[in-house]
Structure 1
Amino acid sequence: MAQINHWKSLIDCDLSGYTLIIPSVAVGNVGQLACDLVISSLQMRKIALLYSPALIPVSGYDPYKIGSSSLSVCCELYECADRKLVILLLRAPLVYKYGQQFLTEVVDKFKADNIKDIVILTSSFAHEKKHIMTSPFRYVANELCTHMSKLKTLDWVEHESKEDGVKILGGGFASILYQIIKEKSVPCLVLYKFASEGDNIPDAYEMVQHLNTVVPLFDEPDFYSQLIHPVSWNLMFGGPPPRNIY
């Protein structure tokens, strides 16, 4: 089968030993917003672009820097060398016909780059939460997950897996990607939150805080003071209504 993903490298980097974070386009876009927050806060640099027929074409202004001449596209790769972290950020859903091959090629590419592990961030429909008094967060980890020892010390709730595999309702491609990663024998952790559509910025902050527990990115004592609000969030819901309509 012909390869469908086409990478454009902007900066050559050795990704050996890095953690890769991939947000799934899901209910409330919690994973994407969390990655936006991490990229902005760590001032991560864009190192590659990805084109594929599996991606819905979108473009816009630089979401992290006002006055920048750089455009953002549907799928971009950001790197933070200090934290040995890369984020593959998607800004649109996958085209179903090509989705499986797209995700398989992504996993193959980063496995060949000798990354340490993959973390998938996503969300699930709030009404799917069956145990009301428990945490709104759930996790799934495969047998190779490098964070298992840490997870065992935390009071986190594990996803209730069924016999026919992991299903995260409302979680976009997260379940499919997890299965591909598992079959490719790459360490993987899925972190998701039950959420609804609306203002999901608070969900993003909580997700980054949970992520930071297992993948240290920020100092704990002054965690929130280190987070930088992306400029693209300033008009997330548009501007105020024009006064002349009243």
Structure 2
Amino acid sequence: MFISSQEAPPAFKDFTLVMPAVAVGNVGQLAVDLIVSSLNMNRVGYIHTDCLIPMAGNNPYTTCKEDAEVLHTSAEVYTAVELKLAVLQIRAPIIQTKSKKFRQLLISWIKDSGFSRTVVLSSSHAYQRDDQQLQGTPLRYLVTPSLLKMSADALKELGWREMERVLAFPGLTDDNAEPRLYIPGAGITKGLYTDSCREDIPLAVLLLFCSEGDNIPDAFTLVNHLNDWLHLLDSPSKELNSKWKIPASWNLLFGSGIPPALF
């Protein structure tokens, strides 16, 4: 359930919603961090649910000492009104037994809010790609029929590569076997996409094949890919990485370093 942090609840009608899936390498969440930080987006509320592991912490996008200690929670909503853009950042894992409930909550909120389109940033295990997915770019997309009606020309112009369907048992010849959508390590991505197709919701998934580790470069790759479509930052592609603002919370992304007392 969305709870506004403002006196007047925000209007999301005709806004674009960007959100991450909690997936391998946390690439979608890191990409969303770059968007919120770079666009100086305003926090307008949060999602209150028992489907996420509870957590709270300091402001991850702090710019000065005064706002550093502002409390932030596991699922928050930010907006850039001039761009008609809303972002849902998810900072905690989804409780496994409540994954379906969380998808239903998101679908209900998206429909009630009147978003014009939703973009899910996700990732999938690189080591589980089949032969056709090893070729070319590691970036893929999925789009629901209702969004395809609106954005077919734009997607064709971008020349993106759609996520391939694969056989359940690759290598076995079975004329009756139908390829299926398989996105290992992507959390609720497949379920959210399938639900959106059924509910006629305009939704796209942008995902990257990756491995666990230092996934900051993957986050830049994914957010640059998104920028090719939404034009969040107006900058030549060669200079784009330097235009994204790294949030303060990334300073401790890999811990606080080796204690000098050890030596």
CA distance in 1: counterparts of 2:83 and 2:162, whole angstroms: 26
Aligned equivalents of 1:203, 1:74: Cα separation in 2:
22
The aligned residue for residue 63 of structure 1 is 60
Q: Distance in 2 between matches of 1:8 and 1:16?
A: 17
| Counterparts of 1:10 and 1:134, CA distance in 2 | 44
Instruction: Find the counterpart in structure 2 of residue 179 from structure 1.
Output: 194
Q: Does the 8 Å CA contact 2:2/2:109 hold for their aligned counterparts?
A: no
What residue is the counterpart of 2:2 in the other structure? 7
Identity of aligned residues (%): 36
What corresponds to 1:160 in structure 2?
Answer: 164
Contact 1:135–1:156, Cα closer than 8 Å, also in 2: no
Hey, what's the Cα distance between the residues in 2 that align with 1:190 and 1:138? 8
Structure 1 unaligned segments of length 5 or more: list them. Answer: 1-5
Structure 2: which amino acid aligns with 1:236? L
2:262 aligns to what? 245
Q: Once structures 1 and 2 are overlaid, which stretch shifts more, 135-144 or 98-107?
A: 98-107
The separation in 2 between residues aligned to 1:200 and 1:225, in whole angstroms, is 17
More off after superposition, 158-167 vs 44-53: 158-167
Partner letter of residue 153 of structure 1? Answer: E
Using the TM superposition, give the Cα deviation of residue 156 of structure 1 relative to its aligned residue in structure 2, in angstroms.
2.0
Q: CA–CA distance in 2 between the matches of 1:56 and 1:19?
A: 26
The alignment status of 1:82 with 2:52, answered yes or no, reads no
* Alpha-carbon distance in structure 2 between the residues aligned to 1:242 and 1:196: 28
Q: CA contact under 8 A between 1:147 and 1:214: conserved in structure 2? A: no
For residues 139-193 of structure 1, the C-alpha deviation after alignment (integer angstroms, 9 at most, x for no partner) is 1111111332111123322111255753311111111111111111111110100
Contact 1:19/1:84 (<8 A) preserved = yes
Partners of 2:79 and 2:98 lie apart in 1 by: 26
Select 2:134's aligned residue among 129, 132, 135. Answer: 132
CA distance in 1, matches of 2:244, 2:155: 24
Asked whether the 8 Å contact 1:124–1:192 carries over to 2, the reply is: yes
Question: Which residue matches 2:21?
Answer: 24
Map 1:136-215 → 2, pairs under 5 A: 136-145=138-147, 146-161=150-165, 163=178, 166-215=181-230
Alpha-carbon distance in 2 for matches of 1:234, 1:125: 26
Q: Which runs of 5+ in 2 are unaligned?
A: 167-177
Worse overlay, 46-55 or 159-168: 159-168
Higher alpha-carbon Rg? 2
- 1:164/1:100 Cα in 2 relative to 1: closer, same or farther (>3 Å)? farther
How far residue 97 of structure 1 moved from its aligned partner, in angstroms, is 2.1
Counterpart of 1:120 in structure 2: which amino acid?
V
Letter in 1 for 2:2: W
Q: 1:31 is matched by which residue type in structure 2?
A: G
> What is the CA–CA distance in structure 2 between the aligned matches of 1:7 and 1:122, rounded to whole Å?
22
Q: What's the RMSD between the two structures over aligned residues?
A: 1.6
Tell me how far apart the structure 2 counterparts of residues 55 and 119 of structure 1 sit (CA, whole Å): 20
Q: Does 1:53 align with 2:32?
A: no
Aligned-partner Cα distance in 2 for 1:219–1:73: 31
Which stretch has the larger CA shift, 190-199 or 144-153? 144-153
Q: 1:223 aligns with which of 240, 243, 250?
A: 240
Q: Which amino acid aligns with 1:208?
A: V
Asked if 2 retains the 8 angstrom alpha-carbon contact of 1:63 and 1:232, the reply is yes
TM-score in terms of structure 1 length: 0.92
Please say which of residues 210-219 and 124-133 is displaced more in the overlay: 124-133
Aligned equivalent of 1:44: 41
- Structure 1 counterpart of 2:4, one-letter code: S
Q: Secondary structure at the match of 2:72?
A: strand
Please state how far the C-alpha of 1:90 moved relative to its aligned partner.
Answer: 0.7
Q: How many residues align?
A: 241
- 1:10-65 CA distance string (max 9 Å, x none): 13211111111120001000000000000000011111111211110011110000
TM-score after normalising by structure 2: 0.87
Distance 1:151 1:33 in 2: 24
Range with bigger deviation, 149-158 or 15-24:
149-158
**Residue 147 of structure 1: SS of its match in structure 2?**
helix
